[in-house]
Chain A
Amino acid sequence: MIILRTGILYSVLICAFISFSSFYSSFLISLKPKKSEEDAPLVLFLNMFGLYWLIFMVSNVLGWINVPSAYKQLSLLLNFILFLQPVPLLYYFIKNKFALFLYTLLGLAFYVLCFGHAFELTTVSYWGVQPGVPQVPGLIFIFGLMAPLAVLAIIKAVKDFAKRTKPLFVETITLVFACLETLNILSKSATWELLLVRMLYVFIGFIAYFYLTGEEATAQFAQRISPRIGNMVRRLRAMRIPFFAKLLLLFVLLSILPIMGAGMLLFLTFKEIIDLYIYKPLLWNLKLSKEEFLAALGNVQIQAIFLITLTIILVVIASIIASRGIAQSLRRIGFGMKRVEEGDLSFKLSPESNDEIGDLVNYFNKMATEIKRSREIMQNWNKELEKTVDERTKNLQTLYNISKAMGSTLDLEELISKSVNYIPEIAGSNFLSIFIKDDKGIYRSKASKGKQIDHVFKEGEGLLGVIVSSGHICKMAEVNEASVAEKKAFEPLGMKALLLAPMESKGKTIGLIVIGIQKDHIPSNIELNLLSTIADQMAIAIENASVFEKEKEAVKKLIEIDKMKTELLSMVSHELRTPLTSIKGFLAHFINGTTGPLNETQKKFVDIMAREGDHLLEYIDTLLEFSRVERGAFVIKKESVQIDKLINGIVEALRPQLESKGIALALDLKAKDAAISGDELKLGQVIRNLIGNSIKFVKQDPQITISSNVLSKGAIEVAVKDNGIGIDRDHLGKIFNKFYQVDTSLTRKVGGLGLGLAISKEIVEAHGGQIRAESEGEGKGSTFIFTIPVIK
């Protein structure tokens, strides 16, 4: 009853312990190296730890039930500490190194306290130190692995140190402890047999380690130790042995075989070995004899214990299978995804089950295939796109070259011959000709690449004529469909088909690009588009060139007319001079009385004739002067001219004329000695022109003021001001134009060719000066001002 009560008392605790421990240990066992192969030893340690924990748990459970003791209390305390382990373990997965450290520290505490303790109690005592304590095969198995792990950890730490990289602290500490523990156990090997067996374990443990981890990195590691072992690991990997089979194999290798070997070494029978290795350790924990145990088997309590034990084992196995299965599958899928992510699209996972995981694997494979397919499609598209872009770029370059060639000249012939060289070889053609329509509507080849062609045609005539009248469409035409004349022209050149692009400008066809195709090649849309764009461009350029040609012609004609006009003016003025010489000369004889006295009337008439002769001469002189200005034939002398002196001279000569007309003249000369560089005669002409103008357009009480000034900007200004009829604002800007008269009716009255101001302007500007007119408006007088830069 006491035993039963104790069992009930502990059962709750046991259940909690079992459920946690089962999951925990199975979880640890199923851990695999996560990211890189670097952490493989650590993970393996955790695996072993899980396994150990399982065995420890079972032995403890068995122990608690029958043997409540101080040792058991201690074990219980340690177990509670272990409950804390999952907390840092969680952090392990979020790669928190500090959490990992904490976890390992706790693990170590447990390890040092329990692991060693368990060994002390079980393994070591059997071999003589503590006779009577049996050996638990599972613990031997654990020990066999712990030792090589510790060695590996040391190797790694030394290597990291040599590479000057920081060794993983936790890993190192953990495994150094494992190593110390191993040494501790080895040091307690009192007999040589024990030492031998344990050394054997270490050796087998190495192999087991490589085999258990079974990763490529392990294989490489093994390769470094011995190529043979490396190859062996690879071969084992290739065998794809299930994990549990491996575990079983290890168990046999590390537990059963050594035990049997040791038994045989001690000349024990099989029954003795079983007693020694199975019953004794088991029953040692229960503190029962074999007989007592067998008797107790009938006991319900013992049955319950077995039931619990069985449950534990089943739970462990089930959870290991589940977690390993799912975790491994997920890991495999994750690995596959990583491969896909890294670009290995041909990677496939091997389907392994028919459940959801299997479906997932299938979906994954499908997805990878789909991605691969769509990427291939994309790549093809890309290639197509690149090809198109290349082609477009080439075409743009072509168009650019043609535009440049066309833009470089306005000469029609040059334009066409240049363009021929830039039209690309479409459809492997080596014949190209540009036909241009002439004034009579006949199309002629203006330039060709390849052979020259003298075929001519009209709109609607033959194949070419029809294409031309059909307008702006790029077309292919078979030569054997052509007219007789066309066949005659194109067949000798070995052409099968013609690519025809009419050039259209302002809705009218002005020419045709003909490209001969010799091979069986159908031009692409891109080529056709390009050709039609070229045809458009050429049409524009040709149109421009012909407009320019016409303009050039017109300008040439205008220049000729202008030259003729100027020459005519010059000739006329000379020719008019000759008859005028006789008229004036003979009149002078009348006036001088050389031919005898004249009566009053005769004298009056002769005077009028002489005066009109003078006017005529004045016009002739102006015309002549103007014709010279037009021809640009007049030369400005560069001499020093004192403006005030010049004005005074002119005014003196004009004074009689002014007085006779009753014009009051005022002078306001302030330029004094200031001189300009120029032509005295020409400048005098300007001043005379301006004064003459003022005289011409007088009103009542006429008054003229002539002023001169030196301007601050280094120029002399001369102004001729009158109070005459003035100039309307609209006319102010135009009065310096040739032949410009403000009012034609007025001109008729006062005379003049309207050239005086134009000539004056030319002269002033030839001196680098400026001339302008100012007027308040009609009837308010006007002022003419010109400025000439002074000599520096």
Chain B
Amino acid sequence: MSKVLVVEDDFSTAELIKFTLGTKDISVDIAGDGGEAIKKVRTNTPDVIVLDIMLPTMDGYQVCELIKHNVLWQSIPIIMLSAKVQREDVSKGLEKGADEYMTKPFEPNKLMERVLFFLSKKTKKESP
């Protein structure tokens, strides 16, 4: 069972993502802030991370940077999901190493599609 870590401080949004991904047999772990996210990556390394940007203590960019600078974790795909919709926000996210940038509000199906895409990519890499 694939593991997805959702880093999201807004409870409703976290619930929405969890429900959305839960429909497809994916285990969803939720971290409420950046620090917790890092802790969870260390203890229970996920296959895909859905990462909000505006977070307490450590923002999404920093979390992304930390993960992508760690040799052990840098292969974990990160989908940034943020209310920050401006062009420079998007480019900054991608610069920090995010594999995908999605804006809020999001179409649940679309998020699902992207998560499944990254999961399949990972499976392909591992299988040969």
List the interface of chain A (C-beta within 8 A of B).
574, 577-586, 588-589, 592, 594, 613, 617, 621, 624, 628, 635, 681
Contacts and interface: CB of A to CB of B under 8 A. Distances in A.
B16 A578 contact: no
Interface in B63-94: 83-88
A589 B84 CA distance: 23
A490 to B, nearest CB: 66
B10 A585 contact: no
B83 A585 contact: no
B62 to A, nearest CB: 18
A586 B83 contact: no
A582 B20 CA distance: 11
A592 B107 CA distance: 11
Contact of A585 (B13, B86, B87): B13
Contact of B16 (A574, A577, A582, A624): A582
A592 B108 contact: yes
Given A580-B105, A581-B10, 5 more contacts: A581-B105, A581-B106, A585-B105, A588-B107, A635-B87
Contacts of B108: 585, 588-589, 592, 594
Nearest to B10: A578
A581 B106 CA distance: 7
B119 interface: no
A586 B13 CA distance: 9
Shortest Cβ-Cβ A-B pairs, 3 listed = A577-B83, A582-B12, A581-B105
Contact of B104 (A578, A588, A589, A628): A578
A645 to B, nearest CB: 21
Interface of B: 10, 12-13, 15-16, 19-20, 23, 54, 83-88, 104-109
B9 to A, nearest CB: 9
Contacts of B84: 574
A578 B81 CA distance: 11
B104, B106, B109 — most chain A CB neighbours (10 Å): B104
A635 B89 CA distance: 13
A617 B86 CA distance: 14
A578 B106 contact: no
A611 to B, nearest CB: 13
Given A581-B83, A581-B104, A628-B86, A592 B109 contact: yes
A588 B88 CA distance: 28
B85 A624 contact: yes
A581 B20 CA distance: 13
A32 B20 CA distance: 143
5 contacts: A574-B54, A578-B104, A581-B104, A613-B105, A624-B86
A339 to B, nearest CB: 100
Contacts of A592: 108-109
Nearest to A617: B105
Contacts, number: 57
A589 B19 contact: yes
Contacts of A574: 54, 83-84
Contacts of A578: 10, 13, 83, 104
A621 B104 CA distance: 11
A588 B104 CA distance: 13
B11 to A, nearest CB: 9
A580 B104 CA distance: 8
Contacts of A681: 87
A476 to B, nearest CB: 71
Given A585-B16, A621-B85, A577 B105 contact: yes
Contacts of B105: 577, 580-581, 583-585, 613, 617
A585 B109 contact: no
Contacts of A583: 105
Nearest to A679: B87
Contacts of B86: 624, 628
Contacts of B13: 578, 581-582, 585
A641 to B, nearest CB: 16
Contacts of B87: 635, 681
Contacts of A586: 16, 19
Contacts of A617: 105
B109 to A, nearest CB: 6
B114 to A, nearest CB: 14
B55 to A, nearest CB: 12
Contacts of B12: 579, 581-582
A711 to B, nearest CB: 30
A586 B87 CA distance: 27
Contacts of A628: 86
Nearest to A579: B12
Contacts of A589: 19-20, 108
A423 to B, nearest CB: 57
A580 B16 CA distance: 12
A584 B109 CA distance: 12
Contacts of B10: 578, 581-582
A754 B70 CA distance: 49
A594 B23 contact: yes
Contacts of A635: 87-88
A581 B86 CA distance: 16
A585 to B, nearest CB: 4
A574 B54 CA distance: 10
B20 A585 contact: yes
A588 B109 contact: yes
A470 B121 CA distance: 93
A574 B103 CA distance: 11
A678 to B, nearest CB: 15
Contacts of A585: 13, 16, 20, 105-106, 108
A585 B20 CA distance: 9
A439 B102 CA distance: 58
Nearest to B15: A582
Contacts of A581: 10, 12-13, 16, 83, 104-106
B50 to A, nearest CB: 13
A681 B88 CA distance: 14
A582 B8 CA distance: 12
A443 B84 CA distance: 56
A681 B104 CA distance: 19
A588 B109 CA distance: 9
A585 B18 CA distance: 11
A577 B104 contact: yes
A621 B13 CA distance: 19
Nearest to B107: A588
Nearest to B11: A582
B81 to A, nearest CB: 9
B85 to A, nearest CB: 7
Contacts of B23: 594
A259 B19 CA distance: 171
B14 to A, nearest CB: 9
A81 to B, nearest CB: 129
Contacts of A588: 107-109
A579 B83 CA distance: 10
Contacts of B85: 577, 621, 624
A573 to B, nearest CB: 8
Contacts of A580: 104-105
Nearest to B108: A588
A592 B87 CA distance: 30
A594 B112 CA distance: 12
A628 B10 CA distance: 25
A635 B107 CA distance: 28
Contacts of B106: 581, 585
A286 B104 CA distance: 163
Contacts of A621: 85
A473 B88 CA distance: 66
Nearest to B23: A594
A592 B109 CA distance: 9
Contacts of A579: 12
A345 B125 CA distance: 127
Contacts of A594: 20, 23, 108
